[in-house]
């Protein structure tokens, strides 16, 4: 796919996320890794609802920023996934989606696997989602925390901040982060209801059938 087409697809998916209220204002960022390991990333302070393909920033392999605007300050998050997950990581999406952020703040949340196993689809698209502590936005330590996972997780939830998901390509990354937000919404709706989660045997049957990461 050409670079110009990828730029258009970033704007298309971003607008869809924004129009449905999954992120808001100037929150969230998206990146895509190109075949030559350069990165296209949304600019700092931009709104998903008003992105211009020509304003998407390119980051070269040497770290040079090419474009009229600055890249998102959370670029270290994106780079950390690309560095640790190799070919499994072709795109990264980070949102400030309401239900996911709310779930990150609740007491008693399992830090190793923040999402309840309510449906097979969160398991299939996300695996286990690690809850990371709060970092000041733009702190390079966020990237270091992801590197500390040694490429074992495709999705994390930043406490009081929002989810970050990396998939093989842009569309799968968007689908996965939307699944994360939907499952977080389910968790809030069902909190205190003693809802029946998938049991361990059911989880493993999904993991084994689809050869999923579940560590």
Residues with catalytic roles:
74, 121
What six digits make up the tokens of 203? 């989880």
| β-sheet bridge partners, residue 64 | none
Q: Alpha-carbon torsion 26, 4, 13, 148, what sign?
A: negative
C-alpha separations of 159 from 5, 102, 163, 185 in Å: 34, 9, 9, 16
Spatial neighbors of 99 by CB under 8 A, at least 6 apart, are 181, 182, 184, 185, 187, 188
Angstrom distance (rounded) from CA 197 to CA 161:
26
* Residue 167 CB neighbours (<10 A): 24
d(C-alpha 94, C-alpha 182), whole Å: 15
């Amino acid at each position: 796919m050409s670079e110009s087409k990828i730029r258009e697809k970033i704007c298309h998916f971003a607008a869809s996320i924004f129009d449905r209220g999954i992120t808001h204002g100037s929150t969230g960022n998206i990146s895509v890794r190109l075949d030559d390991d350069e990165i296209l990333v949304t600019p700092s302070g931009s709104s998903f609802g008003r992105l211009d393909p020509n304003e998407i920033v390119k980051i070269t392999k040497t770290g040079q920023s090419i474009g009229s605007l600055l890249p998102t300050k959370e670029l270290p998050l994106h780079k950390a996934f690309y560095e640790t997950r190799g070919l499994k990581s072709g795109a990264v999406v980070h949102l400030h989606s309401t239900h996911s952020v709310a779930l990150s703040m609740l007491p008693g949340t399992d830090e190793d696997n923040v999402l309840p196993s309510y449906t097979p689809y969160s398991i299939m698209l996300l695996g286990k989602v690690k809850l990371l502590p709060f970092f000041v936005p733009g702190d390079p330590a966020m990237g270091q925390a992801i590197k500390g996972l040694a490429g074992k997780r495709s999705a994390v939830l930043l406490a009081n901040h929002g989810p970050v998901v990396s998939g093989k390509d842009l569309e799968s990354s968007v689908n996965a982060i939307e699944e994360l937000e939907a499952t977080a919404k389910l968790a809030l709706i069902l909190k205190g209801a003693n809802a029946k989660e998938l049991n361990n045997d059911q989880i493993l049957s999904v993991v084994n059938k689809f050869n999923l990461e579940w560590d």
